[in-house]
Amino acid sequence: MSRSAPVVPTVLLVLALAACSAGVHGTPGGPGVRDPYFPKAGNGGYDVTHYDLKLAYDTDEGHRPHLAGTATLTARATKDLSAFDLDFKGLDVEDVTVEGERARWNRAGQELTVRPRDDLDEDETFRVTVRYSGTPQTITDPDGSEEGWLRTTDGALALGEPTGSMAWFPGNHHPSDKASYDIAVSVPKGLQAVSNGELRGETSSKGSTTFSWHTAEPMASYVATVAVGHYDISRSTLGRNRLPVYVAVDPTEAKAGRKVLAKIPEIMEWEEYNFGPYPFSSTGAIVDRPQDAGYALETQNRPVFPGAPDTETLVHELAHQWYGDSVTPKTWRDMWLNEGFATYAEWLWDEDHGGDTARQTFDALYDHGEEDNPDLWAFPPAKPSSAAHISDTPVYMRGAMVLQKIRQTVGDDTFYDIIQGWAATHRHGNADTDDFTAYVEKKVPDKDFGPIWKDWLYGKGKPEHR
């Protein structure tokens, strides 16, 4: 009896090992990456390296937009997986394959759960292809603004901050997972399609034109875009390295657009001087007329503007290419690293172009900023009160004030070293507030930044200031 006792467990072990080699050792990847504000954004268990999106845009008889898409993601499993999720909202899924084999899938809310026939091993690179179609949705943000797939007067515009990109392609929609992209968009003949990166090809066939865009540098999905419509296109190059510039302007904005967009070279040069080398392989802008969105967005390479922008807005969105698009927040709590920097860029531009100094802007805000911005002191920039407030005034203004406090502590030379070094150190990566405070402390070890972090980044209410 006692000798035979271990036999049963041994048999189980052998069975278990056999089951493992047959591929049932993985567990589900999970529906989120624990973002403090958007817990379902992103997914666990894998890391996307490349998105290949083939989209066909059209409108039906009722002028409703229609999209047919094939999205192929190349990803690496970060653990053994029996299933994994993609974020995808609206649109109808036709089929899903993993490594060319049909996979089972189901949907619940924004989670598209994919169950491959064979488990995926940790570190394995795999491809998942989703075919889909339908009328893409406009998504309302927690703060009430519109994103996702938006209609314009003559086409469409896809905007993704913070969670809109799941309305037009399935993906790992969290800023912490950046990837390269190929986005090919077919549109009815006569229309144009503009996206991120560089235009690699334009081909026509029976009634449609396909525009193929390539983004080599890592991109967060919230700054991916597609704009469809009629555009005046201007192409040029910038500087000694002949950086390609591609500007698409809605024809009704052409005159105002040309005037402001002529400023791109000057702004780009000024920003490179102040922030360091431009992190991407092309630049430009898209000026369009969305029906529901009235805001600009720092879409990668080519920020989007709802109508011709003023100079400050252009400075702001181009500054985001360094702070936001290249150095991307690890979570949606770290938004001030985007908006505080881009706002401070506006203050610096004014200072360098005959306007108020950044210090004067800070002082005016400190003394009576709440008259124009009643919520200025509503919450600390590094800890927005909820998902509905991640793009409120404290994130922008008080975020910029943090940078001015640092500048006053370290002096101009070190300050410019810090903002350039920050962009260089985390180029094409992700960073959070702790990374930033640690970076500043390491750069300037003989100064005490504790009070600035405590009062200005994390403190409740209006901080003391001398």
Q: Which of residues 84-143 bind ligand TRP (CB under 6 A)?
A: 141
Interaction between residue 165 and ligand TRP (CB under 6 A)? no
Residues engaged in binding Zn ion (CB under 5 A): 339, 342
390 binds ligand TRP (CB under 6 A): yes
In the three-class reduction of DSSP (H, G, I as helix; E, B as strand; rest coil), residue 417 is classed as helix
Measured from the CB of residue 156, what is the shortest distance to ligand TRP in angstroms?
17
> What crossing angle do the helices spanning 311-322 and 264-275 adopt, rounded to 10°?
40
Residue closer to Zn ion (CB basis): 308 or 319:
319
Contact flags string 332-371 toward ligand TRP, x per CB under 6 A: -------x--------------------------------
* Of 91, 150, 187, 296, the one binding ligand TRP by CB under 6 A: 296
CB of 403 to ligand TRP, least distance (A): 16
Q: Is 99 exposed, middle or buried (0-12, 13-18, 19+ CB in 10 A)?
A: middle
User: Which range of residues in 197-205, 246-254, 290-298, 375-383 is near ligand TRP by CB under 6 A?
Assistant: 290-298
Q: Of 81 and 150, which CB lies nearer to ligand TRP in the complex structure? A: 150
Cα diameter, the chain = 94
Q: How far is the CB of 69 from ligand TRP (least distance, A)?
A: 23
Binding-residue total with ligand TRP (CB under 6 A): 14
Cis peptide before 451 (omega within 30 of 0): no
DSSP secondary structure letters along 352-411: HTTS--HHHHHHHHHHHHHHH-TTTTSS-TTS-SSGGGTTSHIIIIIHHHHHHHHHHHH-
Give the one residue of 42, 162, 170, 380 binding ligand TRP; rule: CB under 6 A.
162
d(CA 24, CA 208): 45
Q: Which residues contact 281 (CB under 8 A, 6 or more apart)?
A: 197, 198, 216, 217, 243, 244, 301
Q: Decide which of ligand TRP, Zn ion, none touches 161; Cβ closer than 5 to 8 Å per partner kind.
A: ligand TRP
Evaluate whether 452 touches 459 at the Cβ level (below 8 Å). Answer: no
Choose the binding region for ligand TRP from 126-134, 199-207, 276-284, 315-323 (rule: CB under 6 A): 315-323
User: Which of ligand TRP, Zn ion, none binds 182 (CB below 5-8 Å, type-dependent)?
Assistant: none
Neighbours of 371 (CB within 10 A): 8
Cβ at position 336, least distance to ligand TRP in Å: 11
Q: Distance (Å, rounded) from C-alpha 218 to C-alpha 216? A: 7
Region of 123-131, 201-209, 269-277, 296-304 interacting with ligand TRP (CB under 6 A): 296-304
Which residues are 211's β-sheet partners? 185, 202
- The CA-based angle 104-108-114, given to 5 degrees, is 25
Instruction: Considering the complex, state which of residue 89 and residue 214 has its C-beta at the smaller distance from ligand TRP.
Output: 89
CA 109/CA 96 separation, integer angstroms = 17
Near ligand TRP by CB under 6 A, which window of 77-85, 168-176, 202-210, 294-302? 294-302
Residue 240, class by beta-carbon neighbours within 10 Å (0-12 exposed, 13-18 middle, 19+ buried)?
Answer: exposed
> Binder to ligand TRP among 37, 295, 449, 458 (CB under 6 A)?
295
Q: Which residues contact ligand TRP by CB under 6 A?
A: 141, 145, 161-162, 295-298, 316-317, 320, 339, 390-391
